[in-house]
Amino acid sequence: MKALGIAAAAVALVAAATSAQAAAPTDCPLRDAPFSIDSPLVDVLLSPQARAVVAKAAPGRLDKIPARFAGVEPPTFAAILTLKEAGAFTGIKPEAMPAIDAELRAIQVTDADRAARCARYDDDPVTFSIPKGKPAVLLFDKINGFRDDPSVKAARAAFEKLAAQKGWTIVATDKGGAVRPETLQKFDAVIWNNVSGDVLTLAQRQALKNYIEAGGGFLAVHGSAGDPAYFWDWYADKLIGARFKGHPMAPQFQDARVVVEDRSHPIAAKLPSEWVMNDEWYSFRTNPRAAGAHVILTLDESSYKPAGMGQDLRMGDHPIAWSNCLGKGRTFYSAIGHRPEVYSDARHLALLDAALDWTALDRKACAAGARR
């Protein structure tokens, strides 16, 4: 019965997406990409033919995957995993992947497949009333991948409170249609609130890139850099500047020592030189320094157990918050922020408050020759 339920849900979503194809965005990423072991797992599960290939390779396993990992409607972990990375759930051995990949690539991508892939994106314009004469920020939290409601809501409340204390305008949306040139130009900065999963159409991606490089501000927290797989290299490698590796699991939340690396940076000016806090600590496969980032905070790996998800998560040099310049734009990312409680921690709030000032207002920070 569970197998029938999952399969029926997939077929129903494909049918719904097909009927709504005329209204859905047509420039969604990977719309025409061949099926493969590198496809988003959700796209494989949405196709009866592709799903059958996997079911043949892993008899009975798909039906036993927890719904949060194999759901076909967002938010779902299946949007941030590829089939290649889902071996822990399917039981498919790495040596079997090449043959499965070849079989998947032989499947013709149909209009129904394209509609299903695009159904999780949106492009309807979003209208905001923005008063003139004071800074304005857009808080964006459209999530197709992993959504932890408590952290998303706590972050939103924290940013709304900080903006109110500053006398700034802040508006929030979970609609990708807000990411268009005429809308973004109304804001001094955009906040990516624990955004997980690919959420922007190709035109929206370009609009965000152009906005930042022309001098806009971008601030992202925690889950915005916590996906196992990304399908937009510029976002992961340039805008964020690091690729997620994992976080501890035993226990998941640990006390760790946060160290300010550079107190001369405006974002760090009012922070203590170090402090201990309890959170879920990310490790990264790549170091943001390699992307030109200015590291503001690091983790003392001797102060907690950097292991989990079957991996040694030690980085040695372990950046946890950093800024960067992309063109004329100012970007900031902090990996702090899974536990809702940290959004009421005075030190974390001081970090976010200063990051808002820097990304939204410090337009000279990324001028030619300026420090980042």
User: For the chain, what are the domain ranges?
Assistant: 2-118, 136-361
CA–CA distances in Å: residue 3 to residues 70, 163, 203, 302: 11, 47, 37, 46
Q: Which residues of 244-280 are buried (b: 16+ CB within 10 A; e: fewer)?
A: bbbbbeeeebbebebebbeeebbbbeebeeebebebb
| Residue 211 near residue 205, CB atoms below 8 Å | no
Name which of 234, 49, 42, 207 is nearest 140 in CA terms.
207
Give pLDDT, residue 371.
53
Instruction: Identify the pLDDT of residue 7.
Output: 43
How far apart (Å, rounded) are the C-alpha atoms in residues 231 and 51? 20
> Pairing between strand 189-193 and 136-140?
parallel
Q: Which of 228, 247, 268 is nearest to 353 (CA)?
A: 268
Which DSSP string corresponds to 215-272? T-EEEEEGGGG--S--S-HHIIIIII---EEE---TTSSEEEEEEES-TTSTTTTTS-
pLDDT of res. 112: 97
Predicted confidence at residue 87, as pLDDT, reads 85
Q: Give the pLDDT of residue 370.
A: 61
Element (H or E) spanning 85, and its range?
Answer: none
The span from the CA of 324 to the CA of 288, in Å, is 9
CATH 3.40.50.880 fits 136-361, yes or no: yes
Q: What is the chain's pLDDT, residue by residue, as a tens digit (372 residues)?
A: 344 344 444 444 444 444 444 467 999 999 999 999 999 999 999 999 999 999 999 999 998 888 888 999 999 999 999 999 998 889 999 999 999 999 999 999 999 999 999 999 999 999 999 999 999 999 999 999 999 999 999 999 999 999 999 999 999 999 999 999 999 999 999 999 999 999 999 999 999 999 999 999 999 999 999 999 999 999 999 999 999 999 999 899 999 999 999 999 999 999 999 999 999 999 999 999 999 999 999 999 999 999 998 899 999 999 999 999 999 999 999 999 999 999 999 999 999 999 999 999 999 999 865 655
Q: How far apart (Å, rounded) are the C-alpha atoms in residues 124 and 182?
A: 13
Alpha-carbon distance of 193 to 121, in angstroms, equals: 17
| Residue 112 host element (H or E) | helix 111-118
DSSP string across 22-64: TTS-S--TTTTPPP-TTSBHHHHHH-HHHHHHHHHHSTTTGGG
**Bond into 94 cis (ω within 30):** no
Token pair listed for 372:
């980042």
User: Number of helices and strands (H, E) in the chain?
Assistant: 12, 13
Residue 76 CA, chain-centre distance (Å), reads: 13
User: In 3-state terms, what secondary structure has residue 322?
Assistant: strand
DSSP 263-313: TTSTTTTTS-SEEEEEEPPPEESS-GGGGT-EEEEEEEGGGS--EETTEE-
Q: Which residues pair with 30 in a beta bridge?
A: none
Residue 89 is predicted with a pLDDT of 87
Q: What is the CB neighbour count within 10 angstroms for residue 292?
A: 13
